[in-house]
């Protein structure tokens, strides 16, 4: 079996049969084709789907009522807090706005970093007018794969757990829309390419997409659109409500 070194900042936006493949899984798929020197099956998606399985943690949350009704998962974990942290407070404001539009009570799951030596940490906040908030920190990726499909919406920064949420699907293949927030890096390169994985991006992110650029590799000078405050909750709520309405029964 051939090895493959994945350096997402380095390869160009390759095309195949007249179709551009800008997202990361497609790029690595084409890199593997070139390494092997053979054509692989050309049917998308190139990224694997991760089917949910029974999970004690998920069933416990369900029994406590946290997965009933309008459940929103928001990813607060990030490797670059000063650039990619949307903040818990913005997510709470977003959930409040969505719940008001839906005329419903919402449950917001704030997903922090994955498992470490301190184990899972679950804490609640005092209920808001329209939102109940649960902090989930130190939850393993295995549990999250089983949790995300039980939500109605996932919102996250440009980070691995947001990509994981897009790949996580229920046993019937269904799952929630996933919205990634892209302030600085290309919104196309850092997505799964799946149809339910959406992007809300700044002008800078779109420049990175159009030019197949990386702000670190290509030393792009920062501007005012690189921080998460470029996505006001009121504007983001409009997008999320539209996506929820598309999949509502």
**pLDDT at residue number 219:** 83
Task: List 111's β-bridge partners, or say none.
Answer: 75, 136
- Which one has a higher pLDDT value, 138 or 81? 138
Number of domains in the chain: 2
Q: Residue 1: its pLDDT value, please?
A: 43
- Facing residues of 156 across strands? 75, 180
Residues 120 and 196 in one domain: yes
| Residues 23 and 130 grouped into a single domain | no
pLDDT at residue 57, rounded to an integer:
93
- The pLDDT value recorded for residue 43 is 74
Closest CA relative to residue 220, chosen from 202, 199, 235, 238: 202
Average pLDDT over residues 233-246: 96
Tokens of 237: 């709520």
**DSSP alpha helix (H) spans, 50-186:** 56-63, 81-84, 88-102, 141-147, 160-167
pLDDT at 132 over 90: yes
69 & 17 share domain: no
Residues 42 and 132 in one domain: no
Whole domain around residue 37: which residue ranges?
A: 11-46
Cα separation, 153 vs 117, in Å, equals 29
Within this chain, do residues 122 and 193 fall inside the same structural domain, yes or no? yes
22 with 71, same domain: the answer is no
Under 8 Å between Cβ of 36 and 4: no
Alpha helices in 7-159 (DSSP H): 24-36, 56-63, 81-84, 88-102, 141-147
Whether residues 86 and 38 fall in one domain = no
* Nearest Cα to Cα of residue 104 among 235, 227, 244, 246: 244
Give the range among 71-75, 162-166, 180-184, 211-215 with minimum mean pLDDT.
211-215
pLDDT of 225 over the 70 cut: no
User: Residue 15 forms beta bridges with which residues?
Assistant: 20
The answer on 168 and 68 residing in a single domain is yes
pLDDT tens, position by position, 7-57: 656 656 666 666 777 788 888 788 778 788 888 777 777 888 999 999 999
H or E segment to which residue 245 belongs: helix 233-247
More confident residue, 93 or 46: 93
pLDDT tops 80 at residue 193:
yes
| Mean pLDDT, range 106-114, rounded to an integer | 92
Q: Scan for tokens 């070139």, then name that residue.
A: 34
Q: What is the pLDDT of residue 11?
A: 58
Kindly list the strands in the beta sheet with 197-201, ordered across the sheet, starting from the edge strand earlier in the chain: 121-124, 131-137, 106-111, 70-75, 153-157, 178-182, 197-201
- Band (pLDDT 50/70/90 cuts) for residue 210 is confident
Looking at residue 216, what DSSP letter applies? T
* Residues 140-144, mean pLDDT to the nearest whole number: 92
């Amino acid at each position: 079996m051939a090895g493959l070194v994945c350096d997402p900042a380095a390869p160009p936006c390759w095309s195949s049969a007249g179709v551009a493949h800008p997202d990361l899984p497609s790029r690595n798929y084409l890199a593997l084709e070139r390494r092997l020197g053979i054509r692989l099956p050309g049917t998308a998606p190139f990224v694997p789907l991760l089917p949910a399985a029974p999970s004690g943690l998920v069933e416990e949350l369900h029994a406590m009522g946290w997965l009933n009704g309008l459940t929103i998962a928001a990813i607060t974990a990030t490797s670059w807090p000063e650039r990619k942290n949307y903040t818990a407070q913005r997510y709470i404001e977003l959930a409040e706005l969505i719940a008001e539009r839906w005329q419903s009570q919402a449950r917001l799951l704030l997903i922090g970093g994955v498992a470490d030596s301190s184990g899972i940490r679950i804490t609640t906040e005092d209920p808001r007018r329209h939102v109940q908030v649960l902090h989930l920190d130190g939850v393993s990726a295995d549990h999250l794969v089983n949790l995300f499909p039980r939500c109605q919406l996932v919102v996250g920064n440009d980070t691995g757990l947001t990509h994981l949420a897009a790949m996580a699907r229920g046993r019937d293949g269904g799952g929630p829309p996933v919205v990634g927030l892209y302030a600085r890096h290309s919104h196309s390169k850092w997505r799964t390419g799946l149809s339910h994985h959406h992007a809300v991006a700044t002008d800078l992110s779109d420049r990175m997409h159009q030019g197949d650029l990386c702000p670190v590799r290509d030393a792009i000078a920062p501007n005012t659109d690189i921080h998460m405050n470029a996505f006001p909750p009121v504007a983001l709520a409009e997008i999320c409500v539209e996506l929820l309405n598309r999949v509502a029964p």
